[in-house]
Amino acid sequence: MLYGTLSDDFDQGLKSLAQELGLSDITRISTIDVPVEEWVLLKCQYGCPNYGRRLVCPPYSPEPARTRAILGEYTTAFLLRYDVPGHSREADMQITQDGITAAWDAFLRLERYAFLNGRNKAFVFGLNHCPACEVCSVESGRTACKHPQIARPSLEACGINVRGLVEAAGWEGRLKGQKALSGDDTVSMISMLLIE
């Protein structure tokens, strides 16, 4: 089923670029199917060390109500999956910084492709925290980002239930690293590109 007014040529070009950039999967979905829920921010506030320490994280990122309003201005999104190297360290899952940077770069390049092909509202979500700065400017009291051209909030930081999003796209069995990692393994990084 097609959503919005995107052409098959645009879809094919975007998917070809995604494959060239190393994405594991890309699926077109309707923005109506994107679950935005208030409880997701609790996981950020009580569980993530980046809460309040990054401009792409809560409380600086769009709250769920604003995210819903933004999604209302779009009809189409592409769910993106990039599998990156991971490893287990004690009980924690660790994702290599190189993997996050590669995924982040690929997602931004897809956004740029969409923009250059007439989709001026194209916007991609980030991952975890922005890899541009080791210490975000907000920690030194500044509220202006040093790298706004690449800073993007994650899906979770905007109240998007990623597990629900993955289920809506039918990706439940495709994700890597959803259980405890043993030794070197692969972890699926999920993002979403909004298109109109």
Structure tokens at 140: 């030194």
pLDDT of residue 131: 81
**Contact in structure between 188 and 81 (CB atoms under 8 Å):** yes
What's the pTM? 0.88
pLDDT of residue 188: 85
Instruction: In whole angstroms, give the CA distance from residue 124 to residue 189.
Output: 13
List Cβ neighbours of 28 (8 Å cut-off, separation of 6 or more).
2, 3, 11, 76, 77, 78, 79
* DSSP-derived secondary structure for 105-166: HHHHHHHHHHHHTT-TT-EE-B-SS-SS-SS-GGGGT--S-S-TTT---BTGGGTB-HHHHH
pLDDT of residue 184: 53
pLDDT of residue 45: 92
Q: Mind listing the pLDDT tens digit of every residue in the chain (196 residues)?
A: 344 456 789 999 999 999 999 999 999 999 999 999 999 999 999 988 999 999 999 999 999 999 999 999 999 999 999 988 776 554 444 556 677 888 999 999 999 999 999 999 999 999 877 888 888 999 888 888 999 999 999 999 999 999 999 988 888 776 776 655 455 577 888 999 999 9
C-alpha gyration radius of the chain: 16
